[in-house]
Amino acid sequence: MLFFTQCFGAVLDLIHLRFQHYKAKRVFSAAGQLVCVVNPTHSLKYAPTLCAAAQTSTEQGILPPCHHHEAVHDPQLVPCMCPLFSCPWEGHLEVVVSHLRQTHHINILQGAEIVFLATDMHLPAPTDWIIMHSCLGHQFLLVLRKQEKYEGHPQFFAMMMLIGTPTQADNFTYRLELNRNQRRLKWEATPRSVLECVDSVISDGDCLVLNTSLAQLFSDNGSLAIGIAITTSKVHNSEAEM
C-alpha cells in the first residue's frame, strides 16, 4: 500500500514538474529554448563540521568572509562554489566542473539561451539555486541566492560566473531577464570569474538584486523563471548602443 502511495506521489510530482515546465515555456516563448527546473539547495544541508563557524554566522544571516584570499595560496585554487559557504572543498579551475557534477549533482546545460526555473522561492534564507551552463566553448555557473543581508529582509541575488579566469570572463556578456504581468526586468553585465567570491559580487551590487515583493511579482506559483543569454563581447559597445 505504501509502495502505491509513493508511486502515486512520484507521478504527481512528475505532472507538477511537467506543468511548471510548460508554463515556463509559454512565458519564454522563443522556440527551442531549453527550460531547466532548478530545485533549491538549502545551504545548511551539506554543511560539514569544518565549517561550524561559518554555519553559525550564516544562521545569524551574516555570511562568513570569503576565505579565498586568506586560506588559498595558489590563486588558481578555488573554493567549492556549491553551496559556496558550506563546502570545504578547494581545487584547481580545471576540476571545478567535475566536483560540482559528482559531489553536488549540479546539472550542466547546453545552449546559448536557456530558461532557469527556480522552484520553492518561499524557502527561508540562506538558500541557493545553481546550475552549470555550457556555452561558447566555456562553462558558466548561474547562482541564485536568497540571503538576509539585513535580518528579516531576505533578498535574491542572481549572477553568472565563468568557470575560468577574470580575463577570460571579460570576453563575455550575459543577460538575465524576468518577464511577467507586463513587467520586464533585464540585467546585462560581464560575468565574474569563480576565482572571485559570490559574497564580494553581492556586496559590490554587481548582480541582479530582487527584494521579496519584486520576486513575488515575477514568480508564478512559487517558481521564478529567469531567461539567460550569453554572448561574446569582444567590442564593448553597450554604452554606445543605448
Query: Of the listed pieces 7-15, 88-96, 125-133, 198-206, which binds a copy of itself according to CB under 8 A?
Result: 198-206
CB neighbour class for 200 (10 Å; exposed up to 12, middle 13-18, buried from 19): middle
Binds a copy of itself (CB under 8 A): choice among 39, 76, 211, 221: 211
235 lines the binding site for a copy of itself (CB under 8 A): no
Indicate the SS3 state at residue 190.
coil
Please state, as a whole number, how many other Cβ atoms lie within 10 Å of the Cβ of residue 211: 12
* CA-closest candidate to residue 143, choices 100, 99, 95: 100
Contacting range for a copy of itself; rule: CB under 8 A; set: 50-58, 78-86, 94-102, 180-188: 180-188
Q: Does 153 bind a copy of itself (CB under 8 A)?
A: yes
Smallest CA-to-CA distance from 228 within 190, 186, 200 is with 186
Query: Is 203 a binder of a copy of itself (CB under 8 A)?
Result: yes
Instruction: Count other Cβ atoms within 10 Å, centred on residue 161.
Output: 23
> Quick check: 186 binds a copy of itself (CB under 8 A)?
yes
Q: Work out how close the CB of 210 gets to a copy of itself at its nearest, in angstroms, rounded to a whole number.
A: 8
d(CA 180, CA 184): 7
Contact residues: a copy of itself, CB under 8 A: 27-30, 149-150, 152-153, 155, 173, 177, 179-180, 182-190, 203-206, 208-217, 227, 233, 236, 238-240, 242
